[in-house]
Chains A and B, each alone.
Chain A
Amino acid sequence: QKEVEQDPGPLSVPEGAIVSLNCTYSNSAFQYFMWYRQYSRKGPELLMYTYSSGNKEDGRFTAQVDKSSKYISLFIRDSQPSDSATYLCAMSEGGGADGLTFGKGTHLIIQP
Chain B
Amino acid sequence: DSGVTQTPKHLITATGQRVTLRCSPRSGDLSVYWYQQSLDQGLQFLIQYYNGEERAKGNILERFSAQQFPDLHSELNLSSLELGDSALYFCASSGYTSYEQYFGPGTRLTVT
* Residues of A with C-beta under 8 A to B101: 34, 46, 100
Query: With A41-B108, A43-B104, A44-B103 in contact, do A97 and B98 touch (Cβ < 8 Å)?
Result: yes
B65 near A: Cβ within 8 Å? no
Interface residue SS majority, chain B: strand
Contact bitstring A13-46, B, C-beta under 8 A = 1, else 0: 0000000000000000000101010000111111
A94 near B: Cβ within 8 Å? yes
- Select B103's contact among A43, A92, A97, beta carbons within 8 Å: A43
Interface residue SS majority, chain A: loop
Interface centre among B31, B98, B99, B105 (most CB of A within 10 A): B99
Interface size on B, residues (CB 8 A): 30
Q: How far is the CB of A98 from chain B (nearest CB, A)?
A: 5
**B96→A96 contact, CB < 8 A:** yes
Which range holds the interface residue count of chain A?
20 to 34
Q: How far is the CB of B7 from chain A (nearest CB, A)?
A: 13
CB within 8 Å of A: which residues of B?
A: 2, 4, 31, 33, 35, 42-48, 50, 55-56, 58, 88, 90, 96-106, 108
